[in-house]
Structure 1
Amino acid sequence: MNKHIQRALPVLLVSTSFAALTPAHAQEQTSVGLDEIVVTARKRAENLQDVSSSISAMSATELARRFDVDVRDFANSSPNVVIDDTQQGPGGVAAVTIRGIGVADVEKSVDPAVGVVIDDIYVGTSTGGLIKAIDLDRVEVLRGPQGTLFGRNAIGGVINLARSRPTQELTGKVRGTYANHDSLDLEGLVSFGLSDAIAVKFTAAHRKSDGYMYNATFGKDGQTSEFTALGVQVLITPTDNLEFSFSFDDQNTKQDPGQLLNLAKSTDLFCAVYEQCAQGVGVPQSGSRYVSLGNGRLGRNGFFDMNLGIAKAKWDISDDFELQYIYGRLETDEDAYQDWDGTALTLFHTDRPARYHQDTHELRLTKANGPLTFVVGGYLWDSAYTINLVSYIGFAVPDTILAIPQDVRQTTKSYAGFFEADYRFTDALKLTVGGRYTKDKKTSGVLDGTFSTWDDPRRESWSKFTPKASLSYDVNDDLMVYGLFSRGYRGGGFNGRPSTLSAATVPYDPETVDNFKLGFKSEMLDRRLRLNVSAFLMKYDDKQEDVDVPTPGIGTGRENRTLNAASAEMKGIEADLTAQITENFTLSANLGYLDAKYKDFLADTNNDGVVDDNSALKLRRAPKWTWAVSANYEAEIGPGTGWIQADLHYLGAHEITFLNNPAFHNKAQYLMDASLNYRIDKTQISVFGRNLFKEDGWTIGYDAQGLWSYGAARPSRTYGVSVTQSF
């Protein structure tokens, strides 16, 4: 038996043994059953068990038991999901992969493949996609293409986050957490009514940390950060059937840029000429995955500022019909001087000031009752970003550091109309059909030392229809079986780091995924056991692959190209289980099996003019097996209530780099989290630990072909104490 499982079993068994000691009267009350889980995966509130789709969800009660920091911590709640921070930019760059579909790139020209949605607003870039876990009321992980209701760039799925609403009653909480690495987190919220028709909520958070990386070149901590967030939400209900809400959040991060590690092999230029070499396969130049040799600027010189404003209006036209309008404005401003080579030399550094904004408008009409129910609407997207990149190249000319500027400005406009309808032929048989038509328009202007399209930006447009159909049958009140077909697509675009005119002006096309699925959802034993299982087959066409290729003698000598050169197939099985063993003891688990392969991948991936067959490569972040087990036991102890929470997440072996560099091959990882908690009245004290087995798997690996490779490892073991005061 694996040593990590041997270590984990005692923690999980402690929870089970508590259940065995539960008094007899508690055993007799288990008929209460599991709570109903309400989700909004289809833009309307529904029971999770009534939705013919693969969804994992956590309620406010479950979230309160956890010590999540950001979106990464939700990966263990769902099978076939991998979420990493690539550390390629300030504020956190999300690499979210579901069923082997995802991207990991800092450039805002690269659209996400998995949508991160907060309060109905889609975050359109990977930078800023690691939403902080502040005041979350519900988390939903939607697996598979969500092209009908969430549109483009949800080809792999959606992480759907919802925050709590303001309350008329005076309520609130304050939490303080101190953990190793001198990490201090303070967060709180307060909500109250200003009048019978107006309620308001304020939130605040402050986090600082010395980080888990040590910089040996400067002899001090090398990944310090400080995060501050302020938010306000106002809920206005002038009548029983009319509602307005407004929210604004301001988040500011100051930090050291990510401390990347050099893993140049003997044939790479940085090793062969500059003697900056990895110590072995998978062993960085520093000898430790938590020790950096980079000479980039420290002192929290990098920053990431984000503002998010949301306005909503909802009108209950009648008992059956609801009309809703949602507007969102997201702005980011950032800069970071990044040491990419991970050595004490200045070989490849960048300064990357960038600004981004997006405006979204959504109008939808929902019919909730009767044999025919539906949601129909329109959507408008408008975004733009500018980056004023300067690359500092120290390997091209001896004893000289070249400063190579490049400015890129891109815009996106997207228009969509969508619908999804259910029709019940009988109480048991339901047909669902839906579709979305999307029109995208993009422009790209580049100002480079060798060419310019800045004053004459290139333009391209694409359109796509993404259908959906499912048929479900309620065998009885506790069992539903269903079949589903859905299509998703990720938009086309222009390369964001070109060194040649052709890369800057020739667009790449959208990619599509067709998803076929069979499944069932069930509740048993008087609703004390919930088991949902599905099997899927996904066919991937025109798959976009972002490839770094050499361009000798031009610009930085590198450029990023996006190729439509691959087709792939993903098939697998997913299962979610929740069991109320006793009134006090709950056990949940999930299991994912994934077989993801390229079917056809012919492309020139190293710019040597030769088209090669790359079909034998493995897809990134696509482990064959993932599973998680979570145990929670709660009991009355003295004047208060105590509980233990233990979570074991298995992440199977997988590749991180496009070229499957063996230096970044991740072996299987066992991620263990646990907490001990005690609550008296409205005061809660918790002791917790994350990654207790100190797994050091890679979260990012990147090959700059012929020069060097860099990477970064997942956060090391974290442990601390937290105090929460509610009122």
Structure 2
Amino acid sequence: MKKAYSRALAAAALAGSAMFIAQAAHAQVSNEDTDIVPDPEGPTPAAGPVTQSTNANQIIVTARRREESLQNTPIAITAINAAMLENKNSLNIGDLQGEAPNLLITQQNSGAAAANLSIRGLTYADVEKSQEPTVGVVIDGVFLGTNTGQLLDFFDIEQIEVLRGPQGTLFGRNTIGGVINIRRSRPTFETGLKAEISAARFGTYSGRAVANFGIGDVIGIKPFFFYNESDGFYRDGATGERRGGSENKNYGVAIAVEPSTDFDLLLTVEKQEQDFDVVNSVITNDGELFCGFAAPELCNRNTTTDLYTVFGQPASGTYSAPALTAEMNWDTGPVRLTSVTGWRKTSENQTQDFDSTPVDLYYTQRLQKYQQFSQELRAAGDLFDGFDYVVGGFYFNSDFDLLQFTRVFGFAPDVPPREFDANPQNVVGTTQSYAVFGDFNWAFAENLRLSFGGRWTRDEKTLRNSFAQLGLVGEGDASFSKFTPKVGVDWRPNPDTLLYASWSRGFRSGGFSPRAATAETAGTPYDPEVVDSYEVGSKLDLLGGMLQFNVAGFLSKYDGLQQNTTIPGGPTGNQTITNNVGSATIKGIEADATWRPVTNLRLNATLGVLDAQFDDFTAGNVVGGLLLPFDYTANDPIYSPDVTASIGAQYMQPVSFGELVGTLGYRYIGKYDQQISLGPLTGDLVNGPVIVNGNDPRVRTDTQNLLDATLTANFMMGNTEAYISAFGRNLLDDRGTTAAFTVAGLFSFASAREPRTYGLTLGIDF
């Protein structure tokens, strides 16, 4: 890892040197770039008379609940706007992987439109709704409390901001890794239509449309409808048919009301629906129990090309999620008041063949209902010249109900789980969260600014675990509270340079174990995780604003690590519970650059380097019916590749019929593990402690080299703008896992990343 750090430091230094040389060589270049959000009047100052850059083409972000220039925001943040997404033919949030340093987004096939998110090595990889995420996804100001529904369509997005590091002050609990802040487009108040259809490999078809019209200058209405279907990229090993298909719909209407210049209301009513074929790839080896029941050719398969042929029984999932969002802003002059209300309800019915073989060994059906409501109130303004603030309060509640039917060694594939299992498990949980927060900027000296704030949060949680016949297993009721402060200072030695340093604290809430199987373990809560993050960085505007180069270094101390462990107890003899098992230290370097050397050419690059290590990690495991201490300190933390990097180019060329836009992007993602698991064992295997020397190699994804390209022709059809786009993703056909799990010496399964795909898109915009 030291070598990787040295290479990263050298690369950052060389990049900085090259850019300063380029500044001298290319001092006279154009300021035109359609990918940059224009702001002719400049951003609203975040802290009084701090010197602003003279660049007129600035990306405006709201990461700190204020409108301010990206280059004037003293945190590590990547902003991606609508034009960038459209020119790359991005489909959903998963296409952001590699676009920001130290960011991973993989699909979780155990839930509908579900994502595993990791920023700076902090991740959440569980489908249970009682357990909290580490990266917050915020849509139009509303926090999603569960990972299902996060793989959003990108057609109607105005801008996405990836905030790296704990964001507890302004965004609250469960954002210890960072936040993905998504803003959809607002109604335009003018008549218009944006629509497109696409066809791609694997029987993939989609149609998207967003309309706009106004009722005078007061009411703007924006209905939208997105549809996507696919046959899937897996092959059934017995029939040869495609598997892993899906049908997705997202539709609704946004209504904006602006009766005056100082008040506005935005109401969005929508529904997301998904029907999908649930598949797993078998990676069980001959050292696991289930291998003895399966055909020999289904054991010891590889975790690259073999993944794309599947053998499991048919399984399916349905997902329905109506939602409502309301945002109101009232500018009183001295104070701007904001209210954000969110409501979301989900219903899921999913079957899954976890052993992934034709033999009926472990098959489940999960019926889940989830509902969340949130309300945030904020006030923002200037207390005096050079001192601005954002203060507010937040309320969140959620409840869920899980009913799980299971066939274990059922050998009855034709009997539905609801008929086979007369003793299904039922888990019911609730969360109520209250918070107050304040965030302040004080320009206390010329070109110096102090940023500070904090948030106090209190969570109240309940969980009840029972079986239909066995009755109540156990239940718990607990509260968790935490104050999460942040303090930082930034300095502008000149209008084009920002230097900053900060310390922030974030926490991931505690809770109860949904898979606990005794009264004691079901009623005993685990404590919150806490992260203290130290960061220094710089943001440089060069070449008259045509070159931006940002670099940050960080150190995170991670305490109270929550981890699932297996211990004795319950009807089957073993049970899985969540414990606080240890601590970790994560340090890293991040750099990103955007350069426009000539008119119509945009180059960008990112680099992320991580050194993630457990300081201590001890948990109990069952060996021969006894609970022994296992030391996992030598294992690698999950979803923490040593290096992530990307480089991309976009070029626009005027032609006789309009314009051609070409993009080419390469992403490199180093190897990383996807589960804390058992690799080689040493130590005292009889009495403990047992030393675990790394994770099982099957849960390690290989190095990824991902190449994407698009070519778009923009032209006019009468008074209508039109475009046709040819695109290719993963052109090198890099194959491997997106998720892989081993289960207690019984079986192992995985899911695969999308292989090479290509297609065409036709669209209009008027």
Provide TM-score, normalisation by structure 2. Answer: 0.87
Q: Distance in 1 between matches of 2:214 and 2:288?
A: 64
Residue 212 of structure 2 corresponds to residue 195 of structure 1: no
CA offsets 1:284-337 (integer angstroms, 9 cap, x no match): 8xx72111100133xxx421111110112111010x420011110011001011
Structure 2 residue corresponding to 1:385, chosen from 400, 425, 429: 400
Match of 1:356 in 2: 370
Secondary structure of the corresponding residue to residue 168 of structure 2: coil
Structure 2: gaps (5+ residues): 1-25, 37-56, 678-694
SS at match of 2:146: coil
Q: Alignment partner of 1:352: what SS? A: strand
Shift of 1:134: 3.1
Structure 1 segment 232-251 matched on structure 2, within 5 A: 232-251=253-272
**What is the count of residue pairs matched by the alignment?**
691
Q: Which aligned pairs between 1:642-653 and structure 2 lie closer than 5 A?
A: 642-653=660-671
Alignment of 1:49-128 (within 5 A): 49-89=71-111, 91-128=112-149
Letter in 2 for 1:670: N
C-alpha separation between the residues in 2 aligned to 1:322 and 1:260?
50
Q: What is residue 600 of structure 2 aligned with on the other side?
A: 584
Residue 406 (1) aligns with residue 425 (2): yes
For the pair 1:226 / 2:247, whether they are aligned, the reply is yes
Letter in 2 for 1:304: Y
Distance 1:197 1:573 in 2: 48
Say whether 1:663 aligns with 2:698: yes
**Structure 2 SS opposite 1:341:** coil
Q: Secondary structure at the match of 2:698?
A: helix
Contact 1:175 1:187 in 2 (8 A): yes
1:611-622 to structure 2, matched below 5 A, reads 611-622=629-640
What amino acid sits opposite 2:460 in the alignment? K
Q: CA shift at 1:191, angstroms?
A: 1.0
Pick one of 376, 386, 410 that aligns with 1:371.
386
Distance (whole Å) between structure 1 residues aligned to residue 570 and residue 461 of structure 2: 30
Which residue does the alignment assign to 2:155?
134
1:30 aligns with 2:46: no
**Aligned position for 2:351:** 337
For 1:716, which of 755, 760, 764 is the aligned residue? 755
Look up the equivalent residue of 1:624 and give its one-letter code: D
Matched, 1:572 2:611: no
1:22 alignment counterpart: none
Question: How far has the Cα of 1:460 moved from its partner?
Answer: 0.4
Per the alignment, do residues 466 and 686 of structure 1 end up closer, same or farther by CA in structure 2, a change over 3 Å counting?
same
Match of 1:725 in 2: 764
Say if 1:362 and 1:378, in contact at 8 Å, map to a contact too: yes
Q: Say if 1:186 and 1:31 are closer, same or farther in 2 by CA, change over 3 A.
A: closer
AA in 1 matched with 2:266: S
Q: Which residue of 2 aligns with 1:253?
A: 274
| Contact 1:108/1:127 (8 A) holds in 2 | no
Give the aligned partner of residue 272 of structure 1: 292
Amino acid at match of 1:30: S
Query: Following the alignment from structure 1 to structure 2, what is the Cα–Cα distance between the partners of residues 713 and 149?
Result: 36
- Asked if the contact 1:218–1:295 (Cα under 8 Å) also holds between the matched residues in 2, the reply is no
What residue ranges of structure 1 are gaps of 5+ in the alignment? 1-25
Q: 1:458 aligns with which of 458, 471, 476?
A: 476
Whether contact under 8 Å (2:87, 2:661) holds in the other structure is: no
User: Offset of 1:552 from its aligned partner?
Assistant: 7.7
Percent sequence identity over aligned pairs = 34
Distance 1:408 1:303, change over 3 A: same
Q: CA deviation at 1:207?
A: 0.7
Aligned to 1:687: 726
Aligned-residue offset at 1:652: 0.5
Secondary structure at 1:441's aligned position in 2? strand
CA 1:122 to 1:558, structure 2 compared with 1: closer, same or farther past 3 Å?
farther
Whole-angstrom CA distance in 2 between matches of 1:605 and 1:416: 37
The yes-or-no answer on 1:177 pairing with 2:198 is yes
Contact kept? 2:567, 2:627, Cα under 8 Å: no
* Deviation for aligned residue 1:503: 2.9
Kept in 1: contact 2:176–2:507 (CA 8 A): yes
Any conservation in 2 of the 1:266–1:277 contact (CA below 8 Å)?
A: no
Q: Relative to structure 1, is the Cα distance of residues 673 and 139 closer, same or farther in structure 2, using a 3 angstrom cutoff?
A: same
Letter in structure 2 aligned against 1:448 = F
- State how 1:39-54 maps to structure 2 within 5 Å: 39-54=61-76
**Aligned counterpart, 2:17:** none
What amino acid maps onto 1:433 in structure 2? F
Residues 140 and 639 of structure 1, relative CA distance in 2, 3 Å threshold: same
Query: 2:520 is paired with a residue of what secondary structure?
Result: helix
- What secondary structure, in the 3-state scheme, does the structure 2 residue paired with 1:85 have? strand
Compute the displacement of 1:426 (Å).
Answer: 2.6
Tell me if the contact between 1:335 and 1:354 (Cα under 8 Å) persists in the aligned partners.
yes
Return the offset for 1:553: 7.3
CA distance 1:550–1:704, shift in 2 (3 Å): farther
Letter in 1 for 2:256: L
- C-alpha separation in 2, matches of 1:686 and 1:328: 36
CA shift, 1:29, in A, is 5.1
Q: 1:399 to 1:413 in 2, by over 3 A?
A: closer
8 Å contact from structure 2 (residues 518, 570) kept in 1: no
Task: Determine helix, strand or coil for the equivalent of 2:521.
Answer: helix
Q: 1:657 to 1:499 in 2, by over 3 A?
A: same
CA distance in structure 2 between the aligned counterparts of 1:444 and 1:493, rounded to whole angstroms: 8
* Structural RMSD (CA): 2.2
1:222-281 Cα offsets, whole Å, 9 max, x none, are: 212111111101111112211111111111111112x11121122211013555675436
User: Given the superposition, is the C-alpha separation of residues 558 and 221 from structure 1 closer, same or farther in structure 2, using an over 3 Å criterion?
Assistant: farther
1:452 Cα deviation from its structure 2 partner: 4.1
2:517, 2:570 within 8 Å by CA — same for their partners in 1? no
Among 476, 494, 498, the alignment partner of 2:494 is 476
Q: Is the 8 A contact 1:492 1:510 kept in 2?
A: yes
Does residue 1:702 correspond to 2:741, yes or no? yes
SS in 2 for 1:504: helix
Partner of residue 542 from structure 2, selected from 524, 532, 546:
524
For residue 171 of structure 1, report the CA deviation from its aligned partner. Answer: 2.2
Answer yes or no: is 1:303 the counterpart of 2:303.
no
Find the counterpart in structure 2 of residue 3 from structure 1. Answer: none
Counterpart amino acid of 1:371? G
Pick aligned residue for 1:677 from 708, 712, 716: 712
1:425 counterpart = 2:444: yes
TM-score (norm 1): 0.92
Confirm or deny: 8 A CA contact 2:107 2:113 kept in the other structure: yes
Distance 2:569 2:302 in 1: 28
SS of 2:638's partner is: coil
Q: Does 1:554 align with 2:571?
A: yes
Residue by residue over 1:549-574, the C-alpha shift from the partner in whole angstroms, topping out at 9 and shown as x without a partner, is 3758725x664321201100000100
How far did 1:396 drift? 10
Compare 215-224 and 225-234 and name the one that shifted more.
Answer: 215-224
Query: 1:449-504: per-residue Cα shift (whole Å, max 9, x none)?
Result: 675448x8420001000000000000100001010100110000111222333332
Question: Alignment partner of 2:95: what SS?
Answer: helix
- Of residues 26-35 and 268-277 in structure 1, the stretch that sits farther from structure 2 once superposed is 26-35
Distance of 2:469 and 2:229 partners within structure 1: 43
Q: Do residues 544 (structure 1) and 562 (structure 2) align?
A: yes
Partners of 2:386 and 2:27 in 1: CA distance: 40
